[in-house]
Amino acid sequence: MVIKQMFNLIQQKLKVLNMKKILYFLCMAFFVLSISSCEKDNYEGPNAAIQGQILDPSGLPLQFDQGQGSMKIKMEELTWITEQGGQAITPTYLAVKQDGSYVNSKIFAGKYVMTPIEGAFYPYNIAGDTVDISGSITKSFTVTPYQNVEWVTEPFINEEGYIQATIKYTSNIVDGLTAPAPFKYRLFISPTQYAGAATFDALLTNDEVNVTANPITILSKAKVVYPNRTYYVRGGVNSNDAFKKYNYTNIKTVVLQQ
């Protein structure tokens, strides 16, 4: 009996010793990890900025949806490619504003290939433009839109209470490239300034209609019923290509007077 008690006591002491060892090693591991995490990060943060505009051949800014809905700018960084060319490039994409401007104030300095893509315009140079970005620079792109869309009669509220406008389009031709035909038109109406295919009032904005005439007179789907409210209006015509994005007029406003 005494021997058994002594044996149990020895086992308990060994367990305590093993627990102390385990706690010791855990504390050491935690200490090493803490020291490692406090080491200085040698990588600098984004230290450059780029801005610019998407222009038509006459130098005027093109109209788009806010964001990447109408188009985007593809950026491929070349800085870290090896001489053997074996490193894959993961592109990033810049969004544009309604007026065709873009800006990125948090970008790493380096050499990039930049290409406007997926818009209602003829394909940009397939190789893109190589741009050295350092400090703050401006880089604009000139593209040829499929359609130039203009107001013939700016939006107004007619006697029946509908928003009415007339637009016209002019198709652009680029030698050697197939011109997609005009496809659908719409009068986009929104309670915010971001009127377009991405943001519109579904109760007022007409459904897409096949282009069969030019100029085109368009009415809102319903009457305007809220007085003293500003409505933002923009006409659009898309083309029968792979993306079917819209070319737009600029934005006008109408208000139902009380």
Residue at a domain's end among 96, 119, 142: 142
> CB-based contacts of 198: which residues, under 8 Å, 6+ apart?
65, 66, 67, 69, 70
- Largest CA-CA distance found in the chain, in angstroms, rounded: 111
Residue 206 belongs to domain spanning: 147-255
Does residue 16 form part of some domain?
Answer: no
Does residue 26 form part of some domain?
Answer: no
> CB-based contacts of 160: which residues, under 8 Å, 6+ apart?
223
Average pLDDT of the segment spanning 6-24: 49
Average pLDDT of the segment spanning 185-199: 96
Above pLDDT 90, what percent of the chain?
74
Residue at a domain's end among 111, 142, 173: 142
Cβ count within 10 A of residue 53: 19
Q: What is the pLDDT of residue 243?
A: 95
Q: How confident is the model at residue 14 (pLDDT cuts 50, 70, 90)?
A: very low
Residue at a domain's end among 101, 116, 142: 142
Q: What is the pLDDT of residue 6?
A: 47
- 133 and 155 inside one domain: no
Please enumerate, as own/partner, the contacts of 76-84 that have beta carbons within 8 Å and a separation of 24 or more.
76/112, 76/113, 76/114, 76/128, 77/108, 77/110, 77/111, 77/112, 78/110, 78/111, 78/112, 78/113, 78/130, 79/108, 79/110, 79/111
Least confident of 17-21, 64-68, 131-135, 141-145: 17-21
Does residue 7 form part of some domain?
Answer: no
d(CA 226, CA 31): 67
Q: What is the pLDDT of residue 46?
A: 84
- 73 and 125 inside one domain: yes
115-135 pLDDT tens trace: 999 999 999 998 999 999 999
For residue 2, is pLDDT > 50?
Answer: no
- 169 and 110 inside one domain: no
For residue 25, is pLDDT > 60?
Answer: no
65-79 pLDDT tens trace: 999 999 999 999 987
Q: What is the pLDDT of residue 17?
A: 43
Average pLDDT of the segment spanning 136-155: 98
Tokens 């915010």 belong to: 192
Task: Give the CA count within 13 Å in the CB-facing half-sphere of 191.
Answer: 9
Task: Provide the whole-model pTM.
Answer: 0.80
